[in-house]
Amino acid sequence: MSPVVHHGTPVVPGAAAGPVVVPGPRSEAPADEAFVDHDHTVAAFAAAAATVAQRLTDRAQHASGAAAEVLQATAAMASDRGLATFVGQQADTLGPASATTAAVEKLAAMFRQAGGLMAERVTDLLDVRDRVVAELLGVPEPGIPQPDEPSVLFADDLAPADTAGLDPRRVVAIAIARGGSTSHTAIIARQLGIPCVVGVAELPWTDPPAAALVDGSSGEVVLDPAPELAQERVRADAERRAASAAWEGPGRTKDGHAVQVLANVQDAAGARVAAQQPVEGFGLYRTELSFLDRSSEPTVDEQAEIYAQVFAAAADSVDGGGKVVVRTLDAGSDKPLRFADMGDEPNPALGVRGLRIARERPELLAHQLDGIAQAARDAGTDVWVMAPMVSVPSEAREFAAAARDRGLRAGVMIETPSTAVLADRVLAEVDFVSIGTNDLSQYTFAADRMSSELTDLTDPWQPGLLTLVEMIAAAGRRADKPVGVCGEAAADPLLACVLVGLGITSLSCAAPAVRGVGAQLATVSLEQCRRAATAALEADSPTDARDAVRAVLA
């Protein structure tokens, strides 16, 4: 009998099999929890929250990059004064676990109402509640198991802190029912290098099979696979990983067609780590993520100092200095910055975000360009600058003028359907464009990139998205200007071949994905990439597109 196979969105390539484990149950405050008095409730909560925060901080110290940040942010939430105040308000009548639950409920309702990134943080908040309640009840922390043998984790969803705390030697693959390719779970799994499939709607996580095979390249989750099938897939994957580990760049197809392979970075520390990969520089420096903790605008000198560190890391990455594409602040929507806050908006993803902030706060953009130009002057690297969330060619024109006035090479991101269909006119204004497939999907399919219900629509293999990429690449050829991709699509080795076949000239992705992308490109010819692109464009769905491309590239 053939095994049951479920499909989801593959987000971290690689195949692994093993016994299935599921997250531990969460403990609830007992209905008959004893109430002593206000001070007891407050003190017991404070002690439990401090223990939880310390535990998460300890784990953060053993993690790096996005995983460390998520653990630290969750620790900060456990020790947040606002949460303690809300617990204090419940402490006149409730015991500590009940007060924690009631306080978190109130806070979560406020977060949900605020929407955007605040609503996103409800998962973290509920995770903190579960950890504090477990601590108060003296039971094991809920969430991820620590299996003794390499296992496959099935879950409905995972809190970012759970994913960040995973040990890749014990949890060798992840399949989750929710989540999208840009969710925190996906981003952290990618960083940890754990094969991962998300959005597996039919995943039997409440009634799991004994064993499973997860293929993070095809998106398949095979329940109770035959041992030979599992062994064959894992062996083929091990071969692929060995080829990735051995890949040393620069990016080119088997027949020598050059494609720059670059890393996405967000700060100096991450840039130094990324520079250890065989990259030709950084294709997306998300500057807003360098300033998430700032309540006031950094001075031009402060900014220049931070940018200079990132440029120095790029200069170290490649002989003769790599390039860095600096994106100006993409604040707003899912990445609010306190010093560039545009107030409450009913629909922040469609609101005043990215370059649009310069309409009301032109000085923010001017200062940032001054800081970038200042740092670029002494950098041993090629600095390009681009604007996010551009909607019309005139915005590209004005941005390019401001950047060129400062001696910078100017480009824009293509993240809106309007700039995709007017790519010729946008390219006439700038020196290069870079396609942000995460937002271009969101706006093309009218599907929130954060929604775990709509991951089939925001899947970067959607033929509708690829058709826009083809149009933009064709415009780039006509203008003889570079067209890169810097969204999550560029991190998928198979899709990278499709993008190259469509005419993309550079690929920028999370640093841990660089080798997989480069190694895959090295195994195929440009002609195969072109055939793969045609197959993907003609497919009916992302799943069909993946299957068709795999057949072409086999």
Hey, which residues are catalytic here?
184, 486
Q: What are phi and psi of 227, to 5 degrees?
A: -55, -35
Bridge partners, 433 (sequence order): 412, 483
**Minimum distance from CB of 539 to Mg ion (Å)?**
25
**Minimum distance from CB of 265 to ligand PEP (Å)?**
12
Burial class (CB in 10 A: 0-12, 13-18, 19+), 319: exposed
C-alpha 462/C-alpha 302 separation (Å) is: 42
Contact criterion met (CB below 8 Å) for 500 and 520: no
Contact criterion met (CB below 8 Å) for 156 and 177: yes
**Minimum distance from CB of 439 to ligand PEP (Å)?**
3
C-alpha pair distances (Å), 354 with each of 184, 335, 349, 431, 451: 21, 10, 10, 20, 21
Q: Which does 286 bind (CB under 5 to 8 A by kind): Mg ion, ligand PEP, none?
A: ligand PEP
- Closest CB to Mg ion among 220 and 415? 415
C-alpha pair distances (Å), 358 with each of 146, 291, 332, 416, 492: 48, 17, 12, 18, 33
Q: How far is CA 286 from the centre of its chain?
A: 12
Taking CB positions, which residue lies at the least distance from Mg ion?
Answer: 439
**Minimum distance from CB of 187 to ligand PEP (Å)?**
10
Q: Tokens 């604007």 map to which residue?
A: 387
Applying CB under 5 A, which residues contact Mg ion? 415, 436, 439
Q: Mention every residue, 6+ apart, whose C-beta is less than 8 A from residue 51.
A: 135
Report strand pairing: 171-176 vs 151-155.
Answer: parallel
- Closest CB to ligand PEP among 284 and 519? 284
Question: Which residue type sits at 500?
Answer: V
C-alpha 518/C-alpha 295 separation (Å) is: 39
Q: Mention every residue, 6+ apart, whose C-beta is less than 8 A from residue 190.
A: 11, 12, 196, 491, 510, 512, 513
Burial class (CB in 10 A: 0-12, 13-18, 19+), 296: exposed
**Minimum distance from CB of 437 to ligand PEP (Å)?**
5
Q: Which does 515 bind (CB under 5 to 8 A by kind): ligand PEP, Mg ion, none?
A: none
Q: Which does 486 bind (CB under 5 to 8 A by kind): ligand PEP, Mg ion, none?
A: ligand PEP
**Minimum distance from CB of 415 to Mg ion (Å)?**
5
**Minimum distance from CB of 189 to ligand PEP (Å)?**
17
- Closest CB to ligand PEP among 172 and 186? 186
Q: Which does 59 bind (CB under 5 to 8 A by kind): ligand PEP, Mg ion, none?
A: none
- Closest CB to ligand PEP among 123 and 266? 266
- Closest CB to Mg ion among 267 and 415? 415
User: Which of 499, 434, 494, 491 shows the shortest CA–CA distance to 465?
Assistant: 499
Q: Tokens 């100096």 map to which residue?
A: 268
Q: Which does 322 bind (CB under 5 to 8 A by kind): ligand PEP, Mg ion, none?
A: none
- Closest CB to ligand PEP among 172 and 490? 490
**Minimum distance from CB of 510 to ligand PEP (Å)?**
11
Q: How far is CA 132 from the centre of its chain?
A: 28
- Closest CB to ligand PEP among 330 and 395? 330
Q: Which does 470 bind (CB under 5 to 8 A by kind): ligand PEP, Mg ion, none?
A: none
C-alpha 185/C-alpha 85 separation (Å) is: 30
Q: Token digits for 416?
A: 């809106």
Report strand pairing: 483-485 vs 506-510.
Answer: parallel
Q: Which does 280 bind (CB under 5 to 8 A by kind): ligand PEP, Mg ion, none?
A: none
**Minimum distance from CB of 486 to Mg ion (Å)?**
9
Q: Tokens 């929130």 map to which residue?
A: 448
**Minimum distance from CB of 450 to Mg ion (Å)?**
12
Q: Which does 195 bind (CB under 5 to 8 A by kind): Mg ion, ligand PEP, none?
A: none
C-alpha 365/C-alpha 22 separation (Å) is: 47
- Closest CB to Mg ion among 355 and 471? 355
Contact criterion met (CB below 8 Å) for 40 and 96: yes
DSSP notation for 164-224 = HT--TTTEEEEEESS--TTSHHHHHHHHHT--EEE--TT---SS--SEEEEETTTTEEEES
Q: Which does 356 bind (CB under 5 to 8 A by kind): ligand PEP, Mg ion, none?
A: none
- Closest CB to Mg ion among 317 and 442? 442
Applying CB under 6 A, which residues contact ligand PEP? 284, 286, 330, 415, 436-439, 486-487
- Closest CB to ligand PEP among 75 and 433? 433
